[in-house]
Amino acid sequence: MSFVDTLRQWDEGVTAFERQDLSEALKIFLSIEDPNSKIYFNMGCLQLLNQDLEAAEKAFDCSIGKDEHLAIAFFQRGITFYRKNRYEESLADFQKAFKALRGNQLIDYKALGLRYILYACEVLHNVALLEAQLGNWEKAQENLVKALNYKTDAKLSVIDRALQSILKQKLFKPVEFPTKLLFKPNKHYVAELEKKDYLGKAKVVSSVVPKDEFSGFAPLQPQVEDGPACPKEPEVFRALEGEPHTVLFEFVPETSDELAVVPGNIVFVLQKGADNWASVVFNERRGLVPYNYLERLEISLASKKNAETPAAPTREPPSRPERIQGLTPSDNNEGNTQSKEEPTTDGLCVVKIHYTFNFAVSLPLGSPYDVLMAKISRKLNVPSAGITLRLTAETSAENVIDEKAEMEEVWRRASSGRLTLWCSVREEIDGKPVSDVHFVAIHPYESSNPEDLSFHEGDTITLLSRVNQDWLEGLCNGNIGIFPSSFVREVPVNGNLDTSD
């Protein structure tokens, strides 16, 4: 099986898992002929969810066989052995997981496609549990004391409670891997899985042959005795929209209006901006690509017969050009015309907005507050009243930009026609901003997932947003995270909690 086929099935398996079709996801992963260590890991996690411990053990064996340094695979196999009451083997795997951390406080697997952080203190927490399970209470205590040297503030309570249990010679629950996470394939590779049509859809514009249905670069020419050895160039030659160019370097997009391309791709340039960015068409998709990453491709009847895709260059790609003209992929809907939405005049400033995604708006330097907010409001499709702008990522009141702010000071921060701001959107629930909604914890909540918000019974939580019907995002004791809505109850405006249920 080719790498592309493996990548496609891997992505399909993860997609099935995300729509909670676990059996289909496992079926897809099992059909992959030569899985890598991450795919084997995914199989093991699904088998654990199915309570098939034997199959899970074999899957984690294969994952470790493919990558003997994958600490999280040792961790999960240790959990599998623990559930099978094979405590000596479970202890050995947790010790191997700690060794694979190589003295680091944690391993963040985000770069490998897994949104999870494995903490050394949590691994030692499980080592201590297994030592206690085997009756080695002194060793259990030693490992928990050792875990204190690797602790983080978010994990301190877990270690403290375990240490209290050990002192009373009581067992405690292990830290387990979340059930909703799998290794995902590289998103840039997945984006390239679509079938590539490098030349687009060519069509005949003019032909001297009646009812000519040829769909190449030029129409058919009639055969004439004693005619020229080579066919004549047609008078009308426009098979494709835009000018063909060859991609010289790989380009990874940073915003939603940019287009991912790799060396050897053939794109068609619709418009080139003065800022060295080009609006192009590739595989029926439009987007922006740096023009200095491209090379014009000359296509003619005399040359196309022996034309070959040029090999990828070996030199380093040029630096990414700055975008100062506000060129967008849709600027050329009516041919190579100037953008109708944004005038390309001097004095424009590109404002980059950090939100849950990044985007940019272009407007004259020195524009008033309401003009800036109107631009951002249209981009997000959110009323201006629900948007808060800040000068930095910090949420302090000094950084907030509102209608009372001195816009001259704000625009003075612009450099080379560029300004960066941060943005948040205030949601409303029953007519009230979510920041004015508070909850009180009716049950304690503790999770090993770093994205979750842990709290104790009676803690007050400020609502930040609603993730879905069952999960909320909130602020408690200076920490931000998500938590199950069934663990809390809303505090009424009068502050009295209703406990009649």
Contact 486, 472 (CB under 8 A): no
Rounded CA gap, 162 and 251, in Å? Answer: 49
- Which is more confident, 295 or 339? 295
Q: Degrees (nearest 5) of the Cα angle 407, 408, 414?
A: 95
Tens-place pLDDT, residues 285-327: 788 889 988 988 865 444 444 444 444 445 566 666 666 545 5
Highest mean pLDDT among 68-82, 149-163, 257-271, 308-322 belongs to 68-82
Query: What pLDDT does 331 receive?
Result: 42
Q: Dump pLDDT digits (tens) for 456-486.
A: 999 999 887 776 777 888 888 878 788 888 8
Adjacency order of strands within the sheet including 471-476: 479-484, 471-476, 460-466, 438-441, 488-490
Domains of the chain, with CATH numbers? 3-167 (1.25.40.10), 348-426 (3.10.20.90), 432-490 (2.30.30.40)
Helices (H), 331-484: 369-380, 407-411
For residues 150 and 347, which has the higher predicted lDDT (pLDDT)?
Answer: 150
Q: Residue 156's pLDDT is what?
A: 62
Percent of the residues in the chain that have a pLDDT greater than 70, as a whole number:
73
* More confident of the two residues 337 and 356: 356
Whether the Cβ atoms of residue 49 and residue 34 lie closer than 8 Å to each other: no
pLDDT of residue 341 exceeding 80, the answer is no
Q: What span, in angstroms and rounded, lies between the C-alpha atoms of 9 and 494?
A: 55
What pLDDT, on a 0 to 100 scale, did the predictor assign at position 379? 79
Nearest to 490 by CA among 469, 455, 461: 461
What tokens were used for 36? 């890598």
Could you give the CA distance from residue 329 to residue 242 in angstroms, rounded to a whole number?
A: 13
